[in-house]
């Protein structure tokens, strides 16, 4: 059975439907990229999975376990499966890089501080920030902050890591350092769902590309198919427009 | 003493009390307008005046913002007569509230003037606007937008402070509540009703100010 | 001139000075008690009103109602209601309690708004991040949101405290022995009104202005070092 299975998932903001009948599956260690025009529901899909927006119907299964989003206890269990890195980093502004990484494992998971700190140092070292452990978010560049955010997400040891347009808020010269970090995770076999506008990068790292529009998945396939030989008109039009730039 | 709530004895006075609310509103409007004028003058002095004038205004604002309104009115009502200034209780209260809110409105309007951005005026000038036109189309719309919400808020505060007038025998809402209390001795009932009247009065005023702000100045703030 | 010197001599006697000093301390104590209780209640109200912490809309709605109503009742009227409510309940409480209760009710409604504005000044994505990491609402409030709110919260709270100190003068209407009552008593003993009210105006000013300055100083300090 696939690592993540989503069936008939629908969600709405008030009365406006934003996700309709989403079906998808991801194997362990697979990297799935979601592309599509803005407002197509890519980020919303991630927000639903991590429990920031309650689904209306459908089911989500991770490693054979069905997730419920209906009450706080189930919500907590669902969120344990995932970690998310946001477009705007969302680092806690009142904490150092190191504290940002250690806070959830110590406070939420009640693990031993010494053990967590050692892990956090290793993670920050891995994303290339071993020298900035005690820096506060506003003392770091966007690229550095985003790498701290990735380390923070990894510290939660998620089954699946969601990256929500992690390079969109960065100055062009800082994009590469973050993408390098993501490549590192890919090499480690991390299961990831990536919402991205970096088509070159998507083509390089993704095993599977999903094209979304108006809250639906229009086309799914390996990158070569979606980019070079799209099967649907909507996807062809979108890809054509993006790649021409 | 076995005290039970009895609103029955108080109901005949509800209209009389509503009349008091009307008096309160009138005092508030007059005091607010005087205070507004004071605030405008003082804020202009702080922006364009010479140093001694600015120091005087600064002193006035600092003093009135850091002492209690009630004691200010006591001073005006009981001390000024010693210096030959005789005022009726109504006048003393009005002057006290006006001077007090004038201090606050100086601060509000000073902040408003300070928020005018040079760039916008320069942009208007490069488009060929005359001085009058840039005031009419750029500065005034900006100023009203910035000042309307805090000034509305100040008006609500002034409306509530008019209750202090009752202490000096003015028969506004609270004063009339005192009067009814003297006749019926249903103290808790009558002052609770007065409190409700103030809530209703200020809610109505807030609502009106919201509508004015929305339709005349296109301010999209929440009503409450 | 001799009249003034004569008045000064009559006014600043040992006993009058003690009396004024006690009134001054009473004012400070009353303000502290009212602020203390009021701010604690106001903080709780603001927390109860926060939708990230309290999911039950009914509770939030009740808090909004409380805040909106109590912010629209003049201090004097609230004081009288509290005064007669204690009487109605048959509780024989000191004037200090009555005045402090009124101050606390008044402060709770206003400070709830101040705290709310402070909490809302922190970007919602900070809540999102905490939530996805499974931090509970209260844990997120304590560890993430509050540490970032103080900057926005403290200066207006201090300014409001100055307003509360000024409001304590209205407690003279029920005879609490604070500064304004002291001035009224001295005045009724035949001392000049100018001397009595002038003196307490100066004392109020010293108290309020030093707090205002401190608030300004804090504002600058907090902005430059937010940690």
pLDDT tens digits, one per residue of B164-221 = 999 999 999 999 999 998 888 889 999 999 999 999 999 999 999 999 988 887 777 6
Nearest-CA neighbor of B203 among B147, B160, B142? B160
Beta-carbon separation of A107 and C227 below 8 A: no
Residues in chain A closer than 8 A to C118 (CB atoms): none
Rounded CA-CA distance A34/A212 in Å is: 7
> How near does any CA of chain A get to the CA of C53, in Å?
12
Closest residue to A92, CB basis, from C131, C144, C226:
C144
Question: C98-145: per-residue pLDDT in tens?
Answer: 999 999 999 999 999 999 999 999 999 999 999 999 998 899 999 999
Distance CA B210, CA B204 (A): 10
State whether C167 and B68 contact (CB < 8 Å).
Answer: yes
At least 3 CB pairs under 8 A between chains B and A: no
Specify the pLDDT at position A245.
Answer: 60
Contact present, C51 and C205 (Cβ < 8 Å): no
Residue A121 to residue A245: CA distance in whole angstroms = 40
Segment B52-56 shows an average pLDDT of 94
Mean pLDDT score of chain B: 89
Sequence-separated (6 or more) residues with CB below 8 Å from residue C187: B78, C193, C196, C197
Query: Token digits for C18?
Result: 């003690």
For A10, the enclosing helix (H) or strand (E) is strand A4-13
How many of the other CB atoms lie within 10 Å of CB of B157?
Answer: 18
Distance in angstroms (rounded) separating the CA atoms of residues C134 and B207: 41
Chains C, A in contact, 3 or more Cβ pairs below 8 Å: yes
pLDDT of residue B72: 96
- Please give the structure tokens belonging to residue B36: 């507004």
Inform me whether the pLDDT recorded for B17 exceeds 60. Answer: yes
- List of chains touching C (3+ CB pairs within 8 A): A, B
Q: pLDDT band at B1, cuts 50/70/90? A: very low
Among A204, A208, A167, A215, CA closest to A4: A208
In this complex, the chains that touch A, judged by 3 or more CB pairs closer than 8 A, are C
Which of A162, A20, A17, A4 lies closest to A83, judged by CA?
A162
C143–chain A Cβ distance below 8 A for any pair: yes
Q: Nearest Cβ partner of A90 from C125, C134, C139?
A: C125
pLDDT tens track for A133-148: 999 999 999 999 999 9
Q: What one-character DSSP code corresponds to residue A159? A: S
Calculate how close chain C gets to B198, using CA atoms only, in Å: 6
Q: C144 at the A interface (CB within 8 A)?
A: yes
Instruction: Say whether residue C142 is in contact with chain A using an 8 A CB cutoff.
Output: no
Does the distance separating the beta carbons of C128 and A90 come in below 8 Å? Answer: yes
Q: Do C74 and B161 touch (CB under 8 A)?
A: yes
pLDDT tens, residue order, chain C (227 aa): 566 777 777 777 888 889 999 999 999 999 999 999 999 999 999 999 998 898 889 999 999 999 999 999 999 999 999 999 999 888 889 999 999 999 999 999 999 999 999 999 999 999 999 999 999 889 999 999 999 998 889 989 999 999 999 999 999 999 899 999 999 999 998 888 889 999 999 999 999 999 999 988 888 887 766 55
Tokens of B163: 């209750």
State how far the Cα of C193 lies from the Cα of C200, in Å rounded to an integer.
11
What residues of C are in contact with residue A166 (Cβ under 8 Å)?
A: none
CB atoms near residue A237 (< 10 Å): 13
Task: State pLDDT tens for residues B126-146.
Answer: 887 887 888 888 888 888 888
| Residues of C in Cβ contact (< 8 Å) with A136 | 227
Q: What is the pLDDT of residue B114?
A: 86
Contact between A79 and C125 using a beta-carbon 8 Å cutoff: no
Tell whether the model's pLDDT for residue A242 goes beyond 70. Answer: yes
Taking the C-alpha atoms of residue B197 and residue B200, their distance in angstroms, rounded to an integer, is 5
Minimum-distance CB partner of B164 among C76, C183, C193: C76
- Smallest Cα distance from A8 to chain C, Å: 23
Tokens of B113: 């003037």
The DSSP element (H or E) to which A61 belongs, if any, is: strand A57-62
- Kindly indicate the confidence band of residue A163, based on its pLDDT and cuts at 50, 70 and 90: very high
C227 vs C222: CA distance, rounded Å: 8
What is the DSSP secondary structure assignment for residue A37, as one 8-state letter?
S
Q: Which residues of A touch C139 (CB under 8 A)?
A: 107-108
Confidence (pLDDT) at C22: 94
**C139 interface with A at CB cutoff 8 Å:** yes
User: In angstroms, rounded to a whole number, what is the distance separating the alpha carbons of residues A148 and B12?
Assistant: 71
Higher pLDDT, B1 or C55: C55
A86/C227 touch (CB, cutoff 8 Å), yes or no? no
pLDDT at B9 over 80: no
How many CA atoms does the CB half-sphere of A146 hold within 13 Å?
24
For residue A215, which of A9, A50, A31 has the smallest C-alpha distance? A9
**Per-residue tokens: B22:** 């009307």
Please give the residue of chain B at the shortest CA–CA distance from C191: B79
Q: Nearest by CB to C133, which of A94, A104, A136?
A: A104
ipTM above threshold 0.85: yes
Please list every residue in chain C whose beta carbon sits closer than 8 Å to the beta carbon of residue A90. 125-126, 128-129
CB of C131 within 8 Å of a chain A CB? The answer is: yes
| Cβ pair A197, A239 in contact under 8 A | no
Mutate to test the interface with A, among C133, C143, C146, C222 (most CBs of A within 10 A): C133
Residue that is written with structure tokens 């009502």 in the block = B77
Do A103 and C128 contact (CB within 8 A), yes or no? no
The residue to which tokens 């004037």 are assigned: C95
């Amino acid at each position: 059975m696939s690592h993540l299975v989503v069936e008939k998932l629908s969600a709405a903001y008030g009365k406006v439907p934003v996700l309709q009948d989403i079906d998808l599956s991801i194997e362990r260690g697979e990297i799935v990229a979601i592309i599509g025009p803005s407002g197509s529901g890519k980020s919303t899909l991630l927000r639903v999975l991590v429990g920031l927006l309650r689904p209306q119907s459908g089911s989500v299964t991770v490693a054979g376990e069905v997730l419920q989003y209906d009450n706080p206890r189930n919500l907590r269990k669902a969120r344990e499966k995932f970690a998310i890195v946001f477009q705007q980093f969302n680092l806690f502004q009142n904490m150092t890089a190191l504290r940002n990484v250690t806070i959830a494992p110590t406070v939420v998971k009640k693990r031993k501080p010494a053990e967590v700190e050692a892990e956090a140092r290793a993670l920050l070292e891995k994303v290339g920030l071993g020298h900035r452990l005690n820096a506060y978010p506003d003392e770091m560049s966007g690229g550095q902050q985003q790498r701290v955010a990735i380390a923070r997400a990894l510290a939660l040891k998620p089954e699946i890591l969601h990256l929500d347009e992690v390079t969109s808020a960065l100055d062009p010269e800082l994009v590469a350092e973050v993408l390098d970090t993501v490549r590192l995770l890919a090499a480690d076999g991390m299961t990831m769902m990536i919402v991205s506008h970096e088509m070159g990068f998507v083509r390089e790292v993704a095993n599977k590309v999903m094209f979304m529009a108006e809250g639906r998945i229009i086309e799914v396939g390996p990158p070569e198919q979606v980019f070079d030989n799209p099967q649907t008109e909507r996807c062809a039009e979108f890809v054509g427009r993006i790649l021409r730039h | 003493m076995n005290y039970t709530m009895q609103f029955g004895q108080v109901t005949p006075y509800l209209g009389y009390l509503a009349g008091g609310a009307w008096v309160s509103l009138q005092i508030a409007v007059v005091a607010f307008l005087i205070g507004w004028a004071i605030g405008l003058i003082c804020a202009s002095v702080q922006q364009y005046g010479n140093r001694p004038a600015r120091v005087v205004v600064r002193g006035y604002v600092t003093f009135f913002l850091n002492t209690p309104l009630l004691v200010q009115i006591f001073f005006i009502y009981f001390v000024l007569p010693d210096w030959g200034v005789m005022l009726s209780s109504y006048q003393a209260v009005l002057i006290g509230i006006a001077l007090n809110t004038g201090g606050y409105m100086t601060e509000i309007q000073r902040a408003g003037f300070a928020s005018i951005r040079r760039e916008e005026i320069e942009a208007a000038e490069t488009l060929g606007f005359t001085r009058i036109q840039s005031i009419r189309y750029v500065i005034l719309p900006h100023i009203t937008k910035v000042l309307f919400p805090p000034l509305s808020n100040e008006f609500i505060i002034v409306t509530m402070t008019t209750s202090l007038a009752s202490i000096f025998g003015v028969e506004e809402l609270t004063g009339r509540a005192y009067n009814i209390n003297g006749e019926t001795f249903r103290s808790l009932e009558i002052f609770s009703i007065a409190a409700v009247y103030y809530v209703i009065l200020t809610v109505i005023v807030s609502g009106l100010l919201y509508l004015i702000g929305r339709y005349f100045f296109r301010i999209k703030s929440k009503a409450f | 001139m001799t009249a003034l010197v004569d008045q000064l001599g009559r006014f600043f006697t040992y006993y009058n000075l003690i009396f004024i000093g006690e009134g001054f301390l009473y004012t400070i104590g009353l303000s502290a008690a009212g602020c203390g209780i009021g701010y604690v209640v106001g903080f709780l109200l603001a927390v109860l009103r926060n939708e990230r912490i309290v999911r039950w809309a009914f509770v939030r709605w009740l808090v909004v109602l409380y805040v909106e109503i109590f912010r629209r009742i003049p201090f004097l009227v609230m004081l009288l209601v509290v005064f007669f409510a204690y009487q109605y309940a048959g509780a024989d409480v000191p004037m200090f309690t009555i005045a402090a209760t009124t101050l606390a009710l008044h402060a709770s409604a206003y400070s709830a708004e101040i705290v709310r504005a402070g909490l809302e000044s922190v970007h919602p994505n900070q809540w999102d991040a905490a939530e996805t990491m499974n931090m509970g609402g209260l844990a997120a409030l304590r560890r993430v949101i509050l540490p970032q709110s103080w900057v926005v919260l403290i200066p207006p709270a201090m300014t409001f405290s100055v307003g509360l100190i000024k409001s304590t003068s209205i407690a003279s209407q029920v005879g609490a022995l604070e500064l304004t009552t002291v001035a009224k008593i001295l005045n009724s003993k035949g001392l000049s009104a100018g001397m009595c009210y002038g003196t307490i105006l100066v004392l109020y000013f010293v108290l309020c202005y030093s707090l205002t300055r401190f608030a300004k100083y804090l504002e600058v300090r907090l902005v430059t070092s937010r940690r």
